[in-house]
Amino acid sequence: MTEIEPATPRPAGPAALERALDKVLGGNEGGDISSDRFFELAWRAAEHAGCELLFEIPPVLFGKADGRAAAIRCRGECESPLLFIVMDMDEGALRLLRGDEAPERVIDFTLAYAGVLSQIRNDSRIIAPLLQ
């Protein structure tokens, strides 16, 4: 695993996430990315870019039967606050999509799922039993 330095205070966004993906992949263009490593690589790249990995989303929303996909939120002001990292299993490659490039069904799912998660986080009836 390629080590990367901690995030530096700079604007987060697609360009920062693209640079972070390159660093995490070590310039390998995703050629040896396995499905098992996807989440860790996406999380590390997001953190390095000053963004936040929200959650994985079903790749079928991107028209892929297999693969992996993750929703990323950029903190602060950014030209595209919602980004997606999509892994194509056939090619073993990662691609980065801005929110305005993603299919509408992806945006709808992401916003709905984030809403559900925020309700769960704020509902002590759900959280309290989990913390015992």
Tell me the pLDDT of the chain averaged across its residues: 81
95 in a domain, yes or no?
yes
Of the listed ranges 14-18, 99-103, 118-122, the least confidently predicted one is 118-122
Confidence of residue 80 (pLDDT cuts 50, 70, 90): confident
Local structure of residue 4 (DSSP, 8 states): -
Number of domains forming the structure of the chain: 1
pTM summary value? 0.76
Residue range of the domain that includes 27: 14-131
100 in a domain, yes or no?
yes
Q: Which two tokens stand for residue 104?
A: 């509408």
pLDDT of residue 85: 92
Write out the DSSP string of 84-95.
EEEEETTTTEEE
Give the bridge partners for 88, in sequence order. Answer: 93
pLDDT of residue 123: 72
